[in-house]
Amino acid sequence: MRSITVKHLDQLLSRAAIRVAAANTGIGRELAFREGPRRTVVVHLAKAEPLGYVRSVISRILDLSEEWLLLTRYGAASDLGVLPANRDMAAISFAGTERQALVEFLCTRPTDIGSVAADLYVLASGGETLMTWDHHTAAEGLEVNLKSVADTTRLLTSLNGLGAELELFYSAG
């Protein structure tokens, strides 16, 4: 794991055409593709879903990229306690060999409202896939926005093999 600086993250978000909500809107650091994703997969997780199943779902999503960035919507990434605090830390990078640590963190973190870990984004290092796991996930599902139709097909095949309950939305864009 390594710290990603504000400058590096801002450059990545710009290259990936991801917009960040203005600070004065009061909705935190909301991320979204400027032109919308080509596909959105929403995975529904029951409240009492077995932890092993949730880990499997997250692992299959994370199989789409070798490196992932963990970002907070509210608060600072350094407040997650994953790495030593660093004032310039905007995100935390997890390499392929650290994927299981990211899965474990996501599945076991505190999700109570007010916790910095309650509203998170997980972004593929190339900016092509954005997963949102926030306080709406229990009611609305785990949202995965993808720019690549081929990656979407791989993900759907994998999640279908697991028997995941999901929805697919598309944009012709």
- The b-or-e profile of 30-66 (16+ CB within 10 A means b, else e) is bbbbeeebbbbbbbebeeeeeeeebbbbbbbbbebbe
Reported pTM: 0.94
Q: Which of 133, 127, 169 is nearest to 152 (CA)?
A: 169
pLDDT tens across 115-162, in order?
898 999 999 999 999 999 988 888 899 999 999 999 999 999 999 999
The confidence score (pLDDT) of residue 27 equals 86
- Which tens digits make up the pLDDT trace of 23-49? 788 888 999 999 999 999 999 998 888
Domain count for the chain: 1
> Between the ranges 24-38, 73-87, 94-108, 159-173, where is the mean pLDDT highest?
94-108
Q: Does the pLDDT of residue 6 top 90, yes or no?
A: yes
173: pLDDT strictly greater than 70: no
**Residue 51: which domain range?**
2-170
Q: What pLDDT sits at residue 155?
A: 98
Task: Tell me the pLDDT tens digit for each residue of 111-124.
Answer: 888 889 899 999 99
